[in-house]
Amino acid sequence: MREYELVAGLETHVELSTKTKIFCGCTTAFGSEPNTHCCPICIGLPGTMPKLNRQAVRYAIMAGLATNCEINPIAKMDRKNYVYPDLPKAYQISQYDRPLCSNGYIQLQNGRKIRILRIHIEEDAGKLVHERGDTYVDYNRGGVPLIEIVTEPDIRSIDEAIEYVEKLQLIMRYIGVSDVKMQEGSLRCDVNISVRPKGAEQLGIRAEIKNMNSFAFMQKAMQYEFERQTDLLESGEQVVQETRRYNTDTGETEPMRGKEDAHDYRYFREPDLVTIETAPQEVEQIKAALPELPDAKFARYTEAYGLSETDANILIKYRRVAEFFDAAAKLVQTPKTVSNLIITQIFRRLSTEEQKEAFEIVVTPQTLAELIALRESGKINNNLLKSTLEQMLDTGKPVAALIDEKDLGGVDEATLREICRQVVAENPAAVQDYRGGKEAAFKALIGGVMKATRGKANALQATEILKSLL
């Protein structure tokens, strides 16, 4: 049996976080009653005139700059004609031959660059709801501004496809152009897949899987489609160029319609909208206002702060967490301590992705840095550091309200030796177990010392004293 290679390219639709729609003043708020966020413009009544949302253009330029694209100084809007119930005016306003951004890339961890052919702005369509044999249309989403990010067919595995979308999602969230919530439709992927014999240069015939809105479904759909096309080629049959959907009940892709090419949409210039001209000075201003991007943060965290790649990836995954870490790390001698406390103690209280993304905690970067400074100066030990942080997270109180002067003094050697004697006397079973070779019993004795000193004892010193007594 011949070996076959997957070749994929993605068309990713990202819903922009503007307050109003792309051509009218209707709100873009999610989750309202059907057909309550509509007006004559976004449902395409005759005689209405669209007006382009300037913020949507600005967000598209930000997305282009963050993905290494060229920003085209002249762009225009076009009509993409097709008749389907989710577009009441029978055409979509999009961009064809003069998009806003082109020739970018996103680099994967293996060093490969997934080239971005173009990023263009367009309006979203309405939503079709199928219930009990009937089809209803909700036009609330119609006219919501989108950017479509189109790659070259550079993806060679399902893992690369998932990593590309995750990186794209993270970048869009960092620059603030979209919340990219797949469960709410803010990020959707059309996956173009073809299969060819390994080592072949010519691309195979592709099928497009529409509207992937979850990583799990995307993975399953791509795997099924790769196997389906491989089976066809192995049996001497032809792959048909078509548009398919993923059926979540059967775990299979199924045909929707023949795959359209550009000429099928009869693109022509949108006559009701003016040319978009972007001055180089404006592009530079937008570029200067961009935040530090995830790849740059990753490099800084691992190189300047000495964090592991795993810890750096965890921190940069959530923009608010990274901002909190940066603010605290500047104020301490050991940024790694900040990272450890966030990833262990603080994350234990934030069980969902949404909670980590919001990162709403009562401790500020400044108060966390004050606590860590006490540890760095040797005034408190690790146990007191962690227990105090727990109290700060519970109460929101500052360090000074939870640690008094007596706590800062630690435990002198004479007092510690006496406490160790008491712990040994009060725990004969643990002493006997330890002397019988059970190392785990020693933890109970150390725990007794820490409890008696409210965590103030030096653990290494206590260990030495206990072992000398035993």
In this predicted model, what pLDDT tens digit does every residue of 314-360 receive, in sequence order?
Answer: 999 999 999 999 999 999 999 999 999 999 999 999 989 889 999 99
Residues 459 and 466: their CA atoms lie apart, in Å, by 10
**What pLDDT sits at residue 314?**
95
Residues 350 and 139: their CA atoms lie apart, in Å, by 36
Tokens 């009562």 correspond to: 362
Q: Is 20 left (phi over 0), alpha (psi -120 to 50) or beta?
A: beta
Q: Which residues contact 417 (CB under 8 A, 6 or more apart)?
A: 465
- pLDDT tens column, 153-186: 999 999 999 999 999 999 999 999 999 988 888 9
**What pLDDT sits at residue 261?**
66
Residues 470 and 468: their CA atoms lie apart, in Å, by 5
**What pLDDT sits at residue 434?**
84
- The tokens of 87 are what? 């577009």
Helix, strand, or coil (residue 58): helix
| Alpha helices (H) in 377-412, listed in sequence order | 382-395, 399-402, 405-408
Return the CATH number of the domain spanning residue range 413-469. Answer: 1.10.10.410
Q: Label each residue of 421-467 as H, E or C.
A: HHHHHHCHHHHHHHHCCCCCHHHHHHHHHHHHCCCCCCHHHHHHHHH
Ranges of residues in the chain with a pLDDT under 50 are none
**Residue 427: how many CB atoms within 10 A of its CB?**
17
**Residue 133: how many CB atoms within 10 A of its CB?**
5
**What pLDDT sits at residue 410?**
61
Show me where the domains of the chain are located. Answer: 4-284, 292-408, 413-469
**What pLDDT sits at residue 96?**
95
**What pLDDT sits at residue 1?**
64
